[in-house]
Amino acid sequence: MRRSIAPALAIVLAVGAGVPAAACAQSYVPSDGSIIPNKVLRLSPSVSIALEKIVYWGVLGGIAYAVLDPLAPTWDIEEAPLGSEYIHFSLQMKRYYSGGAGEARALFNRRARELMRLNEFDDYQVVEYNESLESSLLGSRRKAEGVIQLQHKQKSAVTQLPPA
């Protein structure tokens, strides 16, 4: 979706910078009239929709999709090893989302279990965990950070009682 917006965005930026639109892309902007033809889509004898409205709502939906991107993961996870047994996690939520605000701890634990199994450890312990909210001009963003310690089970020594 973002690739299809690029030519139109280039024209808008170039026009804003003072470059004539005709020099940017002669095929995109007609010399006179509108870019969208004055046509009507007749759905039935009594219902019709102007092509201009279809294009308007299509562009608006495309922008909403590009911003919200419902197929993208809600949380980004960064991992950094701190020695051989400790791992630091940094989770960052998308700025604009539709659901998933309370999933940080569950996602943190799920990823910790995955790393425990992949690295053939027996258990893990959460050493540190905190959640915060980062505010900015464009909206807030949830963050979570934590450290886990991967652990092997202690093999207990077999104690033998002295013969009686």
**pLDDT tens per residue across span 93-130:** 887 766 667 788 999 999 999 999 998 889 999 999 99
Alpha-carbon span 3 to 27, nearest angstrom:
18
| Boundaries of domain holding 59 | 2-68
CB atoms within 10 A of CB 146: 21
For the chain, the domain total comes to: 2
Q: What is the pLDDT of residue 141?
A: 85
What CATH code is carried by the domain that includes residue 123?
A: 3.30.110
Domain co-membership, 60 together with 89: no
Q: Which of 68, 91, 118 lies at the terminal end of a domain, its last residue?
A: 68
Q: How far is CA 126 from the centre of its chain?
A: 25
What would the pLDDT profile of 16-37 be if each residue is shown by its tens digit?
444 454 454 456 666 677 787 8
Q: Is residue 157 in some structural domain?
A: no
Share of the chain above pLDDT 90, in %: 25
